[in-house]
């Protein structure tokens, strides 16, 4: 059985008692969360969110530069009024440089991606500050939108605040 077959079986169970079909499209708590795609981070559980509460935008490292398009749609069209950037400890983005990954892609696939920024970072707290600053400075994000940045500890389950803008 493939993983997708397992997912379909699990979904049948989920759908059998699903009662959230009438929720409105805009998130009830008017917040967008930008988080890493790491499987150990479950933003909804970590932050106490339910279905329909928030937009959760995930990518490698939880990087704001990758999320701006979604954030603009979330804020301009769907009424979010706050942004939270959530990175985490033991992140894979701390383990490589752009040069290392471009060299690996060239060796493995024969593709030149030297112009691609994979957005790795050497300092976890600084990456949060950088992403909050990028959003705060973006002309696409209104200045009255509160933006917070935090780090989730994959060992303790705790979130600690890094910055607010």
Instruction: Give whole-number Cα distances, 79 to 26, 43, 57, 69, 93, in Å.
Output: 6, 20, 15, 15, 31
pLDDT at residue number 1: 78
Domain ranges of the chain: 26-94+122-164
Q: Using CA atoms, how far apart are residues 131 and 59, in angstroms rounded to an integer?
A: 13
pLDDT value of residue 85: 98
Backbone φ and ψ for 16, nearest 5 degrees, come out as: -65, -25
For domain 26-94+122-164, give the CATH number. 3.40.1050.10
Q: What is the predicted pLDDT for the residue at 33?
A: 98
pLDDT at residue 145 in the model: 97
7's tokens: 């997912």
Instruction: Give the mean pLDDT per block of 10 residues along the chain (165 residues).
Output: 94 96 96 98 97 98 98 98 98 97 98 97 98 98 97 98 96
At residue 43, the pLDDT reads 97
């Amino acid at each position: 059985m493939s993983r997708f077959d397992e997912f379909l079986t699990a979904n049948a169970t989920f759908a059998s008692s699903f009662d959230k079909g009438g929720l409105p499209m805009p998130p009830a708590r008017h917040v967008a969360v930008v988080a890493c795609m790491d499987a150990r981070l479950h933003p909804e559980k970590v932050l106490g969110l339910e279905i329909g509460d928030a937009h959760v935008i995930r990518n490698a490292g939880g990087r704001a530069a990758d999320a701006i398009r979604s954030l603009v749609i979330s804020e301009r069209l769907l009424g979010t009024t706050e942004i939270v950037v959530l990175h985490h400890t033991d992140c894979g983005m701390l383990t490589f440089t752009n040069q290392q990954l471009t060299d690996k892609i060239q060796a493995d696939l024969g593709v030149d991606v030297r112009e691609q920024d994979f957005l790795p970072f050497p300092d976890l707290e600084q990456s949060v500050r950088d992403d909050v600053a990028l959003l705060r400075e973006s002309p696409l994000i209104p200045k009255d939108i509160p933006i917070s940045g935090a780090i989730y500890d994959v060992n303790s389950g705790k979130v600690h605040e890094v910055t607010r803008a």
